[in-house]
Amino acid sequence: MFITKRHLSRRTVLKGLGATMALPLLDAMVPAATASAQTAAKGKVRFAAIEMVHGAAGSTTFGAKANLWAPAAVGADFDLTPSSLAPLEPFRDYITIVSNTDVRNAEAFTTPEIGGDHFRASAVFLTQSHPKQTMGSDVLAGTSIDQLYAQRFGQDTAIPSMQLCIENVDQAGGCEYNYSCVYTDTISWASPDEPLPMIRDPRMVFDQLFGVGATPADRARRRQEDRSILDRMMGSVDRLKAQLGPADKARLTDYLEDVREIERRIQKVESSNSTGDPRELPGAPVGVPDSFEEHVKLMFDLQALAFASEITRVFSFKMSRDVSNRVFPSTGVNTGFHNASHHNEREDRIRDFAKINRYHVSLFPYFLERLKNTPDGDQ
């Protein structure tokens, strides 16, 4: 018997002028007559840590009794209906809810630290370390769990890990209660004294994923050209397709269409924000949508794309910043996010805060669906 199946390297990329595009797993990348555990088809560990600030309505005495965050029943027979986790019902078979946890290290240990919970919490989320109270450069927390994953599972990918965010994290120096702003500006720490910067602009994420020059001049030129990254590598695409079977051609086409659609949405945001019309977020980069939901979904799409192409296997995603008073009109609550979290134990205000919690959770299934429907999504 002769085995003639052509084998492509898992590291095969498409190349164009100033751009490099990694590919999803294709059948042609799996050597014939080889156990899958010894090939690129072997399942990979992927990790995404997503943070939302200001706690949850279900953490209050009233909220706990009403199950406004977690369900009442333990084990697999839980009811998500009354909780803010209800939007996850379609994925209940894949959910593990861990109860009775705390963030003790975000609390004050000494008298001078009292009142500074907001300026410690994000630094504790993935490190579980009590941050050093300082407004200088001598910050100290702990190595975050996403970076522990990156050290073990991310060293054979182009980018060991990526750190994304939604809110402005461009502040420097000291925040309140004698804490450096860096503690609220990131959730990822490469080491106890090395906080990692987060990317807010979807265009910058896209450019990092596909090796495109990302200087302001480059971005301005591309916006003026209004061309897709795929236009620069069509020759490379055609040559690759000539080597593929029908199933791989279809998978590659779907993947490239995803890339083009995400890029088109980013270009649309940039075009809209470049008109000179007033913006809801006047200080935000041109690639950042004014719409919170649109911004979150773009970031989820970019993460799913990166997972599918094995550019990285590790993400951290900070969806808000402590003391942010952003309003989410679709919830029916007009109170700013931070103010809503200070409900003074009033039941009506706690229920309003629960509506905001549920809205934030409702965005997560979009990410799960994208992972399920993305090439290589079964791994």
At residue 117, does pLDDT exceed 90?
A: yes
Residue 265: count other Cβ atoms within 10 Å of its Cβ. 16
The pLDDT of residue 148 is 97
* Residue 279 main-chain phi, psi, to 5 deg: -115, 155
How, if at all, do strands 19-22 and 13-16 pair?
A: antiparallel
Q: What are 80-89's pLDDT values in tens digits? A: 999 999 999 9
Containing H/E element for 220?
A: helix 216-225
Task: Place 10 in a pLDDT band, splitting at 50, 70 and 90.
Answer: confident
What is the pTM for the complete model shown? 0.90
Domain ranges of the chain: 1-23+212-284, 44-200+288-373
Average pLDDT of the residues of the chain: 88
Q: Which residue, 84, 79, 116, 120, is CA-closest to 103? A: 120
Flag whether pLDDT at 125 surpasses 70: yes
Question: Does 226 score more than 70 pLDDT?
Answer: no
Q: How confident is the model at residue 13 (pLDDT cuts 50, 70, 90)?
A: confident
Give the pLDDT confidence of 193-219 residue by residue, as tens digits: 999 999 999 999 999 998 765 556 665
pLDDT category at 103 given cuts 50, 70, 90 is confident
Instruction: Pick the more confident residue, 348 or 28.
Output: 348
Find the range with the poorest average confidence among 79-93, 116-130, 364-378: 364-378
* pLDDT at residue 180 in the model: 94
Q: In which element (H, E) is residue 235 found?
A: helix 234-241
What's the whole-number mean pLDDT along residues 146-160? 93
Residue 372 has what pLDDT?
A: 81
The one-letter code for the residue type at 294 is E
| Residues of the chain above pLDDT 90, percent | 68
Q: How many CB atoms lie within 10 A of CB 203?
A: 23
Bridge pairing between strands 47-51 and 314-318: parallel
Residue by residue, what is the 3-state secondary structure of 192-215?
A: CCEECCCECCHHHHHHHHCCCCCC
- Whats the size of the chain, residue-wise? 379
Position 37 scores a pLDDT of: 47
Mention every residue, 6+ apart, whose C-beta is less than 8 A from residue 319: 50, 51, 52, 53, 165, 166, 167, 296, 360
- In this predicted model, what pLDDT tens digit does every residue of 318-335 receive, in sequence order? 999 999 999 999 999 999
Nearest to 187 by CA among 99, 316, 96, 279: 316
- In Å, what is the CA distance from 162 to each residue of 12, 54, 236, 260, 288? 21, 23, 27, 21, 18
| pLDDT score of 1 more than 50 | no
Are the beta carbons of 47 and 315 closer than 8 angstroms?
A: yes
Q: Mean pLDDT over residues 309-314, rounded?
A: 93
Separation between Cα atoms, residue 237 and residue 239, nearest integer Å:
5
pLDDT for 30 equals 81
Query: Of 186 and 231, which is predicted with more confidence?
Result: 186
User: Residues 210-225, buried b or exposed e (16+ Cβ, 10 A)?
Assistant: bbbeeeeeebeebbee
- In the chain, at which residue ranges do the beta strands (DSSP E only) sit? 13-16, 19-22, 47-51, 162-165, 189-191, 194-195, 314-318
Answer yes or no: are the C-beta atoms of 301 and 33 closer than 8 Å: no
Cβ atoms of residues 149 and 212 within 8 Å: no
Torsion angles phi and psi, residue 206, rounded to 5: -60, -45
Under DSSP, the state recorded for 154 is S
Closest CA to 29 of 252, 237, 230: 252
Residue 62: what pLDDT? 96
CA–CA distances in Å: residue 302 to residues 105, 145, 204: 32, 21, 11
Q: Which residues pair with 315 in a beta bridge?
A: 48, 162
